Structure 1
Amino acid sequence: MLQEIKRGHVRDCAAALTCSNKRISNIISPLRAALDDAMHDELITHNPLAGWHYRKIEPPKEVDDIDPFTAEEQAAILAALPNDGAPLIQL
């Protein structure tokens, strides 16, 4: 029942998920909005998820997937740009 939903229920469901914090947030956000609407429609007295955000502790990624350009590649890219485009790309 709608009146029986507690923060602990949502926390337990979120803890059981094997996805990222971003995905969990995307799942909980519509539920929080629906509970907010239910509160404004006087179906429940308060929103148990108001002001609450779940965040599971994730270990750091083992592989760094950032692959920036080397200094030589950066210089080549800037040299290939027209003069008025270089500042924008350089920024």
Structure 2
Amino acid sequence: MGNLIPGIRKLTLDEFQHSYVHDWLETLNISNKRVNNVLGPLRQAFQEAFYDGHIDSNPMDRFRYRSPETREPQPFNQDEISRILAQLEGQERNLIQFAA
């Protein structure tokens, strides 16, 4: 877990706080989907520690998964579109130009 969140290696399970996760996430530039994937093992580890009686509560219970962002796909940039259109003519060109 020390590699997951820098600076928590010396903490015991009962010293870990929910705010450490939020503070650490503020330092990252990753997508919400990646955040959810990274935090899954941490959530599970604390859940197991709770079930085994090592901690009284799971600090990750209050942490909610983030909604994944959706973005519009952009398969070609403007220069690539221009080069494709230069190779076409007639209805083919019109169709591709409209689609782009």
TM-score by structure 2 length?
0.54
Cα deviation per residue 1:31-67 (whole Å; 9 max; x = unaligned)?
A: 01100000011110000111522549x8x86xx3256
**Structure 1 portions without partners, runs of 5+:** 74-91
The alignment's TM-score, normalised by the length of structure 1, stands at 0.59
The structure 1 segments of at least 4 consecutive aligned residues displaced by more than 2 Å after TM superposition are none
- CA-atom RMSD in angstroms: 2.8
- Alignment match of 1:18 (pick from 19, 29, 51): 29
Aligned pairs, how many? Answer: 65
Q: Which amino acid aligns with 2:44?
A: A
Tell whether the 8 Å contact from 1:25 to 1:53 is kept in structure 2 after alignment.
no
CA–CA separation in structure 1 for the residues paired with 2:23 and 2:62:
17
